[in-house]
Amino acid sequence: MANDVNSVVIIGRLTRAIQLKYLNSGTAVGRCSIAVNSYAGQGKQDNVSFFDIIVWGKQAEALNPYLNKGQQICVNGELRQSRWEQNGENKSKIEIVAHSIQLLGRSSNNNGDQNAKQDQPTPQVIPKSSFPGPEQFEDDIPF
């Protein structure tokens, strides 16, 4: 008997900031949406697909400050279909339940504080031997 596989890896940009809510049990639930562009070829219009993402628990809380509109992310998760009835009609929706999310680049709107941190140069490592030893200081301490 063959095993079924439900796995998705997708890279795109957030269309809005994550919306973090809490269930009555205290579990965090984050919802966001990404746009994924696909190149259609020369002279053809590019295709854009939109996908809803759900992030649960501590991961949703930890990513909340970083998941802003325009941020490029990689989502590893599984597809989940929700079904319900509304006004006598059967409805369904497919969402990606995230197992992990990686931040990939700066957000395209370039107005977040986290972007300013990425623009900082990497600090230079100074070898320990270049610091003065105790023999190079005066013995007179003013206090």
Q: What is the pLDDT of residues 22-77, one digit of tens each?
A: 999 989 999 999 999 887 777 777 788 999 999 999 999 999 999 999 999 999 99
Alpha helices, DSSP H only, in 14-111? 57-63
Residue 126 has pLDDT above 50, yes or no: no
Residue 118 has pLDDT above 90, yes or no: no
Higher-confidence residue: 89 or 109?
A: 89
Which pLDDT does position 44 carry in this prediction? 73
Joined tokens for residue 143: 């206090």
Instruction: Count the residues in the chain.
Output: 143
Q: Break the chain down into helix, strand, coil percent, rounded to 5.
A: 15, 45, 45
Q: How do strand 89-103 and strand 47-56 relate by DSSP bridges?
A: parallel
Domain residue ranges of the chain, discontinuous segments joined by +: 8-116
Which pLDDT does position 130 carry in this prediction? 46
Which pLDDT does position 105 carry in this prediction? 77
Residue 123 has pLDDT above 90, yes or no: no
Which pLDDT does position 108 carry in this prediction? 58
Q: What is the pTM of this model?
A: 0.66
Least confident window among 19-28, 64-73, 89-98, 101-110: 101-110
> What CATH number is given for 8-116 in this structure?
2.40.50.140
Higher-confidence residue: 141 or 82?
A: 82
